[in-house]
Amino acid sequence: MTPTGQPPRPDRGALIETELEILFAVSRVLSRSLDLAETLTEVLALLHDAGGYAHGFITLKDEATGELSVRAAYRDIAGSPSTVRYKPGEGVIGLVATSGETVLLPRVADEPKFLHRLKAFDPELPFIAAPVLGEGEEVAGVLAAQPPADRPLLGERSRFMEMVANLISQTVRLNRRVRAEQQEIKDERDSLRRRVRAQHGFDTIVGHTPVMRQVFEQVRLVSKWNTTVLLRGESGTGKELIANAIHYNSPRASSPFVKLNCAALPENLLESEMFGHEKGAFTGAQAQRKGRFELADGGTLFLDEIGEISGLFQSKLLRVLQEGEFERVGGTETIKVDVRVIAATNRDLEGAVADGNFREDLYYRLNVMPIRTPPLRERAEDIPDLARFLVDKISQAQRRTLSIDDGAVRLLLRHRWPGNVRELENSLERAAIMSETGTIDERAVIMAGLQDRMVASPGLDAPPPPAFARAVPPPPAPDLDDPDLGERERVIAALERAGWVQAKAARLLNMTPRQIAYRIQTLGIDVKQF
């Protein structure tokens, strides 16, 4: 008591000084991290320890349902506060959310709307709930706590809680913007991944001949595993296309796919390009640089023209393939990586091993799963489909409508194609340039310069076309009514008979298009598109 017999007056100056210190500490906490739950919990701890605000909690609005759920609570609230929810207008918390106004209860026991859902509040103490604002002054949540029982200062304490709620509002708005931007980036990333998979999937590899069906099956099987693959075949047969299909249909599809042409760089640069280098490792090395192996960590590394590397570099590559570790040029730190290697070559590696030009142990390390890409002369039946596919591709690049007639296709079938699919694509691009109407005909093909290697048609004064230019009869189709034929084989046989047109295959099997689409999905059938 004072000398006059009156209770002591509260020291507002001391309270304001304490509140300023708390506000400064709260602002520092909120600026430290974007982990919203962590920072909000730390703010409630500051309010409790420095200001005596007990049973503090913060609710945030669910943007989908509009309900408020507890996102952070001080440790003196037991149980599972995160399961507590308030509908708009429900109880004191719901009232603050709908009105956007701070609620001050001098004594909890006097308010019938107080719901006591957290079962932690002292009914004899005051209670303050302040709105946390989002974008456009919309209420995004509520900050609530029980202040000390100095009732003459409740007005100051209510204003203090509003200031803390305003600081929290800024953090909540920033957090929501960051989450929205992250979701936008994630959606764009997923869209790009779907587009890349579509561009490099099985559908981009055209072919229905037996040799190509065998390649498709090998690619489908090896894609599931981390096995090292060696792609063998002449230049222009689509080895890089096969490597793309393996990666983008593998469990590593979401990880990096890095490519390196080993024949494009001299040996002194190849080591730096593949393993990276440290700053000052050689003249011109002005900064540390990661190599292709390091960039491909977790993903796939495609090493094209692997048969061109020198004997000294072969030993360095062998160590990485065996141990999964290396050092950068000029460095001493051993770097471990998890990389799936796909190599490609058009060289006779067996002959190089026999001549001592290629290490035998490296050959066996690379040749775990060999896949041979057949030259175009061994699958001449694919030329019509390839030609139409490539004409569509050129049409998109030239931004005009292009087509190819049957006469031009017949001329293409009489060419020897030493440059394989790459030569076919280049020839069709030249023919497209020669075509003013947009239709690639015999004249455009001849003007593209293919007549020099044409094989004369039968009946003329020239030898008959070689075997690769003559149609090869397809293998006999299986009987769809054969009782020994499994369901998967029956569906595949119907699709092949229908040219992989699902509606036609459905009629052959007495199914609806929806039924055969369901069978294709459940049986894991890869639909070929030509």
Per-residue pLDDT for 39 more than 60? yes
pLDDT value of position 471: 39
The Cα 306–Cα 262 span in angstroms is 6
Residue 331 has pLDDT above 70, yes or no: yes
Q: Could you tell me the pTM of the whole model? A: 0.57
Confidence class for position 345, pLDDT limits 50, 70, 90: very high
Question: CA nearest 419: which of 235, 194, 243, 271?
Answer: 235
Per-residue confidence (pLDDT) for residue 202, from 0 to 100: 62
Query: Is residue 465 very low, low, confident or very high in pLDDT (cuts 50, 70, 90)?
Result: very low
Band the pLDDT of 199: cuts 50, 70, 90: low
Q: Comparing C-alpha atoms, which of 369, 343, 372, 424 is closest to residue 233?
A: 372
pLDDT above 70 as % of the chain: 89
Q: How many CB atoms lie within 10 A of CB 505?
A: 24
Q: How far is CA 346 from CA 343, 355, 371, 372, in A?
A: 11, 17, 12, 10
Task: Examine the pLDDT at 290 and tell me if it is beyond 60.
Answer: yes
E strands, 153-228, where? none
CB of 391 closer than 8 Å to CB of 440:
yes
**8 A C-beta contact, residue 72 and residue 58:** yes
Instruction: Give Cα separations from 515 to 481, 511, 522, 529 (angstroms).
Output: 18, 6, 11, 19
The Cα–Cα gap between 261 and 245 comes to 18
d(CA 98, CA 90): 9
The most confident of the ranges 206-220, 274-288, 365-379 is 365-379
* Cross-strand pairs, 327: 334
- Using 50, 70 and 90 to split pLDDT, how confident is the model at 268? confident
Q: What tens digit of pLDDT does each residue of 78-126 get?
A: 778 888 899 989 999 999 999 999 999 999 999 998 988 888 899 999 9
- Per the CB < 8 A criterion, the answer to whether 232 and 368 are in contact is no
> What rounded mean pLDDT belongs to the chain?
84
DSSP string of 455-523?
PPPTTSSSPPP-GGGSPPPPPPPPPTT-TTS-HHHHHHHHHHHTTT-HHHHHHHTT--HHHHHHHHHHT
Cβ-contact 379, 211 below 8 angstroms: yes
**pLDDT greater than 70 at residue 467:** no
Residue-level pLDDT at 284: 74
Share of the chain above pLDDT 90, in %: 38
Looking at residue 478, what is its pLDDT? 67
User: CA 329 → CA 57, 262, 302, distances in Å?
Assistant: 55, 17, 21
CB–CB of 113/91 below 8 Å?
A: yes
The tens digit of pLDDT for each residue in 360-418 reads 999 999 999 999 999 999 998 999 999 999 999 899 988 999 999 988 998 898 888 88
pLDDT at 106: 92
**Higher per-residue confidence, 205 vs 461:** 205
- Chain centroid, CA 479 distance in Å: 42
Cβ atoms within 10 Å of 514's Cβ, excluding its own: 10
Please check whether residue 518 is in contact with residue 524, taking contact to mean a CB–CB distance below 8 angstroms: no
Residue 117 carries which DSSP code? T
| pLDDT confidence of residue 344 | 95
pLDDT greater than 80 at residue 523? no
Any idea what the Cα angle at residue 271 is, between residues 269 and 276, rounded to 5°?
95
Exposure string for 337-363, b = 16+ CB within 10 A, e = fewer: bebbbbbbbbeebeebbeeeebbeebb
Structure confidence by residue, pLDDT tens digits, 423-448: 999 999 999 998 888 899 888 888 88
Work out the pLDDT band at 198, boundaries 50, 70, 90: low
pLDDT for 454 equals: 56
Q: Which residue has the higher pLDDT, 284 or 119?
A: 119
Distance CA 34, CA 367 (A): 49
Q: Taking 80 as the threshold, does the pLDDT of residue 480 lie above it?
A: no
Does residue 530 register a pLDDT over 50?
Answer: no
Q: What is the 3-state secondary structure (H, E, C) of 269-319?
A: HHHHHHHEECCCCCCCCCCCEECHHHHCCCCEEEEECHHHCCHHHHHHHHH
Judge whether residue 169 has pLDDT over 60.
Answer: yes
Looking at residue 67, the DSSP 8-state letter turns out to be: -
pLDDT at 476: 56
> pLDDT per residue over 67-79, tens digit each?
999 989 998 887 7
- The pLDDT of residue 470 is 40
Q: What is the pLDDT of residues 45-57, one digit of tens each?
A: 999 999 899 999 9
CA distances for 379 relative to 178, 468, 473, angstroms: 53, 7, 12
Residue type, 326: F
Question: Tokens 């509606």, residue?
Answer: 503
Structure-derived torsion over alpha carbons of residues 242, 245, 251, 256, reported in degrees to the nearest 10: 90
Cα torsion at 481, 484, 488, 491 (round to 10°)?
A: -10
Q: Please, what is the angle between helix 513-522 and helix 487-497, to 10°?
A: 120
* CB atoms near residue 17 (< 10 Å): 11
Confirm if 57 and 96 have CB atoms less than 8 A apart. Answer: no
pLDDT at 134: 87
Q: Is the pLDDT of residue 5 over 50?
A: no
Tell me the domains of the chain and their CATH numbers.
Answer: 13-179 (3.30.450.40), 202-372 (3.40.50.300), 376-469 (1.10.8.60), 476-530 (1.10.10.60)
Considering only CA atoms, which of 142, 99, 138, 100 is closest in space to residue 117?
Answer: 142
pLDDT for res 375: 93
Given this model, what pLDDT does residue 310 score? 87
The tokens for 517 are 């689409």
Return the higher-pLDDT residue of 215 and 266: 215
